[in-house]
Amino acid sequence: MFGFLAIRMPAVRIDGPRVYVRPPRRGDERQWVHLRRISKDFLVPWEPTWPSDAATPAAYRRRYRRFCEDWRTRAAFAFFVFDQDSDELLGGITLSNVRRGVSQSGSIGYWMGEPHAGKGYMTEAVALLLYFAFETLGLYRVEAACLPHNEASRRLLRKLGFKEEGIARRYLCINGRWQDHMTHAILRDDPRPSVVSRATSLYA
């Protein structure tokens, strides 16, 4: 318990017109547990198999420790997505598998709570994360993958300037089955929407 309380996240916040993203905090536990619980049936088909305690305070604390360690080692960068007006938690987005050297690339994954899906929030959040990836971390390439029948996610990525690159066979184990994924990528110098209105305390 005391180790959990001692963990700190960097003070990063990137604002868009309707949403902002920042790293998770200890105090987000209640909102996260509630949103994941009410969104379970909506999220299960698109995510790795949920453990029995997937939407509990204990699960949040495990994730939070991993988020903090990933930020510390720069292996991955987890953000939560919030409504600008209400500060309500809407979903999450992560830049993971960050490679340096000759690659300078990373991969994004995201989830949206069921009450907030289909309203354009995640499109804006991904655009904010791309700003972080390219302008703050200096990456050159960001990749994303989604199930071929996930038309909403494919439309989102196309709207932001990602290009479809092909099918990766049995790419990820989703909902208990190894499934093919459509792969996408965007480069730093590709056109993309500019939605950032403010970026504070950027992580260097």
CATH topology of domain 11-195: Aminopeptidase (3.40.630)
Angle at 179 between CA 184 and CA 159, to 5 degrees: 25
Q: Dig out the tokens for 41 from the structure.
A: 């049936």
pLDDT tens per residue, range 125-172: 999 999 999 999 999 999 999 999 999 999 999 999 999 999 999 988
Element (H, E) at 152: helix 151-159
Q: Dig out the tokens for 118 from the structure.
A: 């289909």
What single-letter DSSP state applies at residue 148?
T
Please, are residues 142 and 107 in contact by the beta-carbon 8 Å criterion?
Answer: yes
Element (H, E) at 151: helix 151-159
pLDDT tens per residue, range 34-63: 999 999 999 999 999 888 899 999 999 999
Task: Identify the CA nearest to 44 among candidates 35, 32, 36.
Answer: 36
How does DSSP assign 4-68, residue by residue?
HHH------EEE-SSEEEE---GGGHHHHHHHHHHTHHHHGGGSSPPPTTTTSHHHHHHHHHHHH
Predicted TM-score (pTM) of the model is 0.91
**Four-residue CA torsion sign, 49, 66, 123, 104:** negative
pLDDT tens per residue, range 9-20: 888 999 999 999
Residue 58 is which amino acid?
A
pLDDT of residue 108: 97
Model confidence at 73, pLDDT cuts 50, 70, 90, reads very high
